[in-house]
Amino acid sequence: MMLKFLRLLKILRVAVQYGLDEIAIAELKKPRIAKIIDTVFFWRDLSAPRGVRLRMALEELGPIFVKFGQVLSTRRDLIPGDLVEELSRLQDRVPPFDTELAIAQIRKSLGAHPDELFATFERTPVASASIAQVHFATLKDGKQVAVKVLRPGMKKTIDEDVALMQTAAEMVERLWADSKRLKPKEVVAEFDKYLHDELDLMREAANASQLRRNFANSELLLVPEMFWDYCSSSVIVMERMHGIPVSQIDRLIEAGVDLKKLSSDGVEIFFTQVFRDGFFHADMHPGNILVSVDPASFGRYIALDFGIVGTLNDFDKDYLSQNFLAFFRRDYKRVAEAHIESGWAPKDTRVDELESAVRACCEPIFDRPLKDISFGQILLRLFQTSRRFNVEVQPQLVLLQKTLLNIEGLGRQLDPDLDLWKTAKPYLENWMAEQVGLKGMWQRMKAEAPHYAHVIPQLPRMLHKALAQQAEPAPDNSELLKVLIGEQQRTNRLLSLVIYFALAFGGGVVAVQLYLRWHHLG
């Protein structure tokens, strides 16, 4: 209890020192409180912008609060733009923990000392973050690997700090006039889930395995292999990847990498993950991306750190593809209609008014290179429009928005003249053609064939049962019997049509099955 109290005192001291109260004061229900606070804390220097002061406060409070700031930086629908821009600069500047602690964690998780498990194990970590740190090692068969070890005691630290955040969120809801829209308690709950997911390294290993399988035959992206015999919830061992960090432009140029191709490949990788797979790497900042210079895979991206991934269902993918294509074609009416049809905007929203608002947001960015536009500003304006029309921001798209901003930053580094719209439009058009054209219909028929192969043999019994039920006369009611006979005759005609259709459809399914079997044997 004493430690929690001291931690709370430190948080209050940092909040006062950096004037975090002033950030809230602007929205307080009773602004006169601002004058009182300024008088009491007259000694503070609040000359720095509020976003800078918020970032510095979170950095001083430690890695959990840094993580919280990073999560907040993705919520442009909730946080003012100047704060988001500054929070996006937060980095995990965390010193490594003692190697002996890492060795103890490995021994506890894998049942043996690293010197017994590996041919070599480097004591000095090569990377350290708030959740884990990485050591290089070599398996006994000679394969080079990276060993990721969870930072000890993280669950207790996270639980204690998140509990304090929940208390603060409750206070904000009482004091802040805009609290209903900001939903501070929901944001903290989302952050709590996000952190506890990251604490399970097996989840990260499974994410990497899925992404590697999705791009198994790709000429664009490499994903490290996971060595499952050495993986647990607190330690994972993966293939060591060699490459140049994507942010080191001079080294890439010196190695002969085509930056324009690299930038367009990045766009294709992003849209492939989103629309083909509905499973995407959601932490694509430059620190997690290398570029291979190995002759066998020269110029390919290498993805690292899979603790955060995003998923989309078929409805999300269809909705997004329609909106992206409508944006690319400048069909803002279709964008407005899609929002209303999906239920994300109220049914009574006027299409023409929403269309006009979206046009004002998006029209200025067309026919301009990436260096002259900012998706951050566009998203901010779109979110402002969303609030005006009471459009619900979907939680499953928050990570997608964050990833798109990462792609923007990466594109600015590699090829400032990249036209993201022209690069992405052909890919999306091809994807839509595959989904709604003959190829898409054929793929869906193949997927549904096993189901119908089970149902079709039951149709005669089901039809006989339905006919028998229709043919049963009502006793002692001749008028009702006449009506039923007439209904039965009409039903029989309808059922005949159904039978013909079922037989024709069944024949088609059988033909599909025969074709698939012949194709498989061939």
Give the pLDDT score at 427: 73
Give the pLDDT score at 108: 94
Confirm whether 283 is a catalytic residue: yes
pLDDT tens string 80-109: 767 777 777 776 667 888 999 999 999 999
**Annotated catalytic residue, options 283, 305, 316, 415:** 283
pLDDT for 191 beyond 70: yes
- Which residues, in sequence order, are CB contacts of 157 under 8 Å at separation 6+? 64
Give the pLDDT score at 358: 84
pLDDT for 116 beyond 80: yes
> In whole angstroms, what is the distance from residue 431 CA to residue 410 CA?
24
Give the pLDDT score at 258: 93
Give the pLDDT score at 521: 45
Stronger pLDDT, 516 or 281, i.e. the higher one: 281
Q: Which residues carry a binding-site annotation for ATP?
A: 126-134, 148
Q: Which residues carry a binding-site annotation?
A: 126-134, 148
Residue 226: DSSP 8-state: B
Q: β-pairing, 221-222 with 301-303? A: parallel
> In whole angstroms, what is the distance from residue 27 CA to residue 38 CA?
15
pLDDT band with cut points at 50, 70 and 90 for residue 498: low
DSSP 61-78: H-HHHHHHHHHHTT-TTT
Q: Are 283 and 305 in contact (CB under 8 A)?
A: yes
Q: How far is CA 358 from the centre of its chain?
A: 24
Q: Using CA atoms in the order 172, 178, 182, 184, what is the torsion angle rounded to 10 degrees?
A: 10
Give the torsion sign (CA, 206, 139, 239, 245).
positive
pLDDT for 385 beyond 80: no
Residue type, 37: I
